[in-house]
């Protein structure tokens, strides 16, 4: 089960990044919905998906790393923040802006994530 959740999240996060960069908001939203469905399923696991999300922090795709780090924040902030900072400082303007805003809102205490 965990392997399929990893693959579902990774596929959705990859698609989300590609569609965001392409400016296709309809497909971006569909990919986001698939990411959220995977995270909701992960939250039912004994570790709430922490191991899956941590394993994705080294993925070559910045969208996968950033997405995993975002949903890892309530479980392991110390592992998630450096990844979000790295993506925020990357050359991809839309993906980096997303990571920057996640960090800003998390630090301000305004970001509510699936827990």
Summarize pLDDT for 25-73 with one digit per residue, the tens.
999 999 999 999 999 999 999 999 999 999 999 999 999 999 999 999 9
Q: Which residues contact 97 (CB under 8 A, 6 or more apart)?
A: 88
DSSP letters, 38-72, are: HHHHHTTSTTTTHHHHHHGGG-S-HHHHHHHHHHH
Q: What is the dihedral of CA 42, 36, 90, 19, to 10 degrees?
A: 140
Report the half-sphere exposure of 62 (CA within 13 A, side-chain side): 21
Alpha carbons 99 and 90: distance in angstroms, whole number: 10
Summarize pLDDT for 85-111 with one digit per residue, the tens.
999 999 888 889 999 999 999 999 999
Backbone φ and ψ of 41, nearest 5°? -65, -40
């Amino acid at each position: 089960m965990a392997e399929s959740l990893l693959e579902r999240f990774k596929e959705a996060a990859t698609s989300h990044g590609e569609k965001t960069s392409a400016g296709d908001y309809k497909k971006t939203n569909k990919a986001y919905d698939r990411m959220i469905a995977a995270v909701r399923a992960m939250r039912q696991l004994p570790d709430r998906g922490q191991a899956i999300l941590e394993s994705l922090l080294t993925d070559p795709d910045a969208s996968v790393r950033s997405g995993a780090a975002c949903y890892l924040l309530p479980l392991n902030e110390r592992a998630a923040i450096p990844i979000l900072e790295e993506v925020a400082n990357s050359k991809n303007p839309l993906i980096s802006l997303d990571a920057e805003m996640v960090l800003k809102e998390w630090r301000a205490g305004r970001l509510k994530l699936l827990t």
